[in-house]
Structures are given as C-alpha cells and as structure tokens.
C-alpha cells in the first residue's frame, strides 16, 4: 500500500504541473523595465501547488479516492471474460505434459534434461487439494460450493468474479482470484462452477450446472 501511495503522490505531482490556468495571449508592447526571465525552481513550484491543494482540501480528497479505488480493486479484481454457466454438465481432462525448448543444465553446465524432453509435472508432484472455480456474485454457486465441499478434505476456492472478502466469509475459508483468467484459459474451462482435481497423470475437470441450486422461497 505504501508503494502505491508513493506512486499516487508522484502522479499527483505530475498532474499538478499541467493543471495551471491558461489564458489568451496579446501583445501589449513594452511597459516599464524589462528583466530577463528567471527560471522558477521546480521543487518550489511543486511544493506551492501541493500546499494549495492541501489547504483547500483537494489533496486529501484525491488521496482518499485513490486509496478507495485501490482497495476496491484489491477486493474485487477485474472479472474473467469468456465464462458462463451451463445446463449441460461436462467432464474432460487436461494433460500438463510439455516439451522442453532448451537444455536444462546444472551449476556445472552438465545437461540434466536435453531439449525435446517431454515433462509431466504430475510425475513428480501430487496435488492434494482440489480447485473450485466459481463466481461468488452468483449465490447459486456459493450454495453449490458449500455442498460440494463436503466431499473433499482440501479445497482451494478460486474466484473468476466477485468480492474476495465476502466470498471468504461465505465459504469460511481462504479465497484466491484467477487474475486475467490465466488458469481457466490454460485448462480450457468455459463454464463455471468447475472442479479441477488430479486423476493419475492428468487433471480432471468437471463443469457443473447450477440450476438445481437456485434458492426457492
């Protein structure tokens, strides 16, 4: 937060340099003694502008607006595009295997894995947690997550839309956010809510329908 406030102040200083009032120019001739133009000290100019903004309360307003915007973005990042709910549940698999595009060497330059080697991370690691992808603004998906959570011991809740703090309170657990949709796009997820879990050497992806979780009065 301190770093963002410093960034804000630098931006504010930059802004003040270009917000001085301008008027129409007119040649009125020479009146009185002419003196060479002295360059105004930049720091003094900035301090004067900041002092004016502080005295009239504008600096505090701008700072509070900046803090509020940063806080809101932190709690509610930009929603992931291209996702929707579905009425047709679907299960598919993702193979994380990739091919090395360069040699992997140790500290002495010895080649451990040559270029062209196929690597599957699931050969060496095991995912103990399952991932729940959901939109917490859709209350049906919150209800879905709470009911499905009873079937698993370790869960990572990952939002694609919604307020992180509110979702964390509703789910009574830590909540993450898939910034820019990097995970769902990598895995090929098009519909939410979805559950991702390891199935042998692949990832099993299940897209669920949420119509049955609509709350009725």
* CB contact at 8 A, 100 and 116: yes
Q: Please report which helix (H) or strand (E) contains residue 198, including its range.
A: strand 194-199
Per-residue burial over 124-143, b if 16 or more Cβ lie within 10 Å, else e, is: eeeeeebbbbbbbbbebbbb
* CB contact at 8 A, 203 and 94: yes
Cβ burial, residue 174 (10 Å; 0-12/13-18/19+):
exposed
* CB contact at 8 A, 202 and 93: yes
Q: What is the pTM of this model?
A: 0.67
- Write down the pLDDT at residue 104: 87
Range 90-213: architecture per CATH:
3-Layer(aba) Sandwich (3.40)
- Write down the pLDDT at residue 51: 80
What residue segments make up the domains of the chain, in order of their start? 2-75, 90-213
What token pair was written down for 179?
């910034």
Mean pLDDT, 10 residues at a time, over the chain (217 residues)? 54 50 48 56 76 77 67 80 95 94 88 89 91 97 96 96 96 95 96 97 96 67
- Write down the pLDDT at residue 217: 38
Q: At what angle do helices 42-55 and 58-75 cross, to 10 degrees?
A: 80
Distance in angstroms (rounded) separating the CA atoms of residues 181 and 84: 13
Is the peptide bond between 193 and the residue preceding it cis, with omega within 30 degrees of 0?
yes
- Write down the pLDDT at residue 20: 47
- Write down the pLDDT at residue 154: 95
What token pair was written down for 215?
């709350």
What token pair was written down for 157?
């809740």
């Amino acid at each position: 937060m301190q770093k963002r406030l410093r960034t804000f102040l630098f931006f504010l200083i930059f802004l003040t340099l270009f917000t001085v009032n301008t008027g129409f120019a007119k040649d009125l001739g020479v009146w009185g003694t002419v003196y060479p133009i002295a360059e105004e000290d930049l720091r003094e100019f900035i301090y004067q502008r900041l002092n004016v903004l502080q005295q009239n309360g504008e600096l505090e307003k701008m700072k509070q607006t900046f803090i509020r915007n940063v806080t809101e973005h932190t709690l509610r990042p930009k929603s992931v595009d291209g996702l929707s709910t579905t009425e047709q549940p679907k299960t598919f698999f993702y193979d994380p295997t990739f091919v090395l595009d360069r040699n992997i060497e140790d500290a002495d330059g010895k080649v451990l894995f040559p270029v062209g080697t196929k690597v599957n991370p699931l050969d060496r690691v095991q995912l103990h947690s399952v991932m729940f992808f959901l939109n917490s603004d859709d209350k049906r998906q919150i209800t879905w997550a709470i009911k499905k959570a009873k079937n698993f011991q370790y869960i990572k809740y990952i939002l694609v839309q919604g307020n992180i703090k509110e979702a964390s309170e509703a789910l009574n657990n830590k909540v993450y956010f898939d910034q820019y949709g990097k995970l769902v796009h990598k895995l090929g997820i098009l519909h939410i809510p979805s559950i991702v879990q390891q199935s042998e050497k692949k990832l099993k992806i299940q897209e669920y329908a949420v119509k049955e979780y609509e709350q009725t009065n």
